[in-house]
Amino acid sequence: MTGTVACLGECMMELVARPGGTLTRGFGGDTLNTAVYLARLGVPTAYVSALGDDTFSDEMIASWQAEGIQTDGVLRVPGRLPGLYMIQTDDTGERRFFYWRDSAPVRQVFALPETPLVEAALLAADTIYLSGISLSLFGDAGRERLFALLGRARSGGTRVVFDGNFRPRGWPDLPLARAVYDRIYACSDIVLASVEDDMLLYGESDADILLSRLRAARVPESVVKLAHPACHVVHAAEAVLVSAEPVSDVVDTTAAGDSFAAAYVAARRAGLSPEASARAGHRLAGAVVRHRGAIIPRDAMPATLFTPEAAP
């Protein structure tokens, strides 16, 4: 495939608490992480979101453009600021997240006069990528408009890729979240899910339960990530267990799933089988967890991701 992947979601300002009470500032967001890795893997990639007209938003857009990401689908809302979150790490290395994002402009991206520009950016892509966090940003009316757009896009041949990424704090209640997930499963071409997220969403889960849920929704292709470093890949009614190579020097698991998604989508677009694409995903995620932060240095990107060396 040679068209564009449009990633829909939110990028926030990130503050990390350091010893002595100092803070370091950066940017972060699940779909943005995936967009960066897609662009680095040579996939034409657009980010679709809404930001303010402040200097922090300017910095975000400049950094995305430096990665080769198209930003025509990013709306700028006067007088608004992007969302903010802070990370604290305790003595055992456990991280806690604190969010200030209720008034982030992305929450109104499907309710603005400029919304048709966002819809045009999504409809122009051959693949739309979004996550459970993306869906949690919009109210009922915004999600209705999004689902209508996804229906139009699929009718025109666009593929929809959904990454589960369920975060309970983003939803008012579990019944609503379950209904939305059931709906997005039914209109996705590829679903990337995990037993861990499914457990949070439904209260109980294992690989068989999640696989059955996706089969019932008639998902054409799915990847079910397990608690240990492996996944089930289901395509054309065949399920294959794909294990990851062990990583002994894990530093930070941030963006492991986001980078896996990028490599999987990029490999599938390059014509690799689902199984080989999952191996590529494991390989990139294995490189990402060896570095601190969501985005690793460019020279740390695996050189053999889509070559025969990437498979056992």
Amino acid 250: pLDDT: 84
- Rounded distance between C-alpha atoms, residue 190 and residue 48, angstroms: 19
User: pLDDT averaged over the chain?
Assistant: 92
Query: Which of 246, 244, 230, 249 lies closest to 290 in space, CA to CA?
Result: 249
Q: How far apart are CA 62 and CA 74, in angstroms?
A: 12
Q: Which of 54, 163, 258, 299 is catalytic?
A: 258
Domain ranges of the chain: 5-10+31-48+106-310
Residue 178's pLDDT band (cuts 50, 70, 90) = very high
Q: Which residues contact 237 (CB under 8 A, 6 or more apart)?
A: none
* pLDDT given for residue 233 in this prediction: 97
* pLDDT of 97: 82
* % of the chain surpassing 90 pLDDT: 77
- The arrangement of strands across the sheet holding 45-52 comes to 74-77, 45-52, 5-8, 127-131, 159-163, 190-194, 221-225, 230-235, 238-243
At 220, the amino acid letter reads P
Phi-psi region for residue 299, left (φ > 0), alpha (ψ -120 to 50) or beta?
Answer: alpha
pLDDT at position 308, please? 52
Q: What is the pLDDT of residues 43-57, one digit of tens each?
A: 999 999 999 999 999
Residue 103 phi/psi, 5° resolution?
Answer: -105, 15
Identify the pLDDT of residue 312.
Answer: 42
Residue range 248-258, pLDDT digits in tens: 888 878 889 99
Q: Compute φ and ψ for 176, nearest 5 degrees.
A: -65, -45
Measure the CA–CA gap between 55 and 25, rounded to whole angstroms. 14
Statement: residue 150 has pLDDT above 80 = yes
- Per-residue pLDDT tens over the stretch 257-290: 999 999 999 999 999 999 999 999 999 999 998 8
Fold annotation for 5-10+31-48+106-310 = UDP-N-acetylmuramoyl-L-alanine:D-glutamate ligase (3.40.1190)
Question: Known catalytic residue: 72?
Answer: no
Helix (H, G, I), strand (E, B) or coil at 108: helix
Confidence bin at 309 (pLDDT 50/70/90)? very low
Query: Two tokens at 218?
Result: 């008639």
Give me the mean pLDDT over the 204-218 stretch. 94
Pairing of strands 84-89, 12-17: parallel
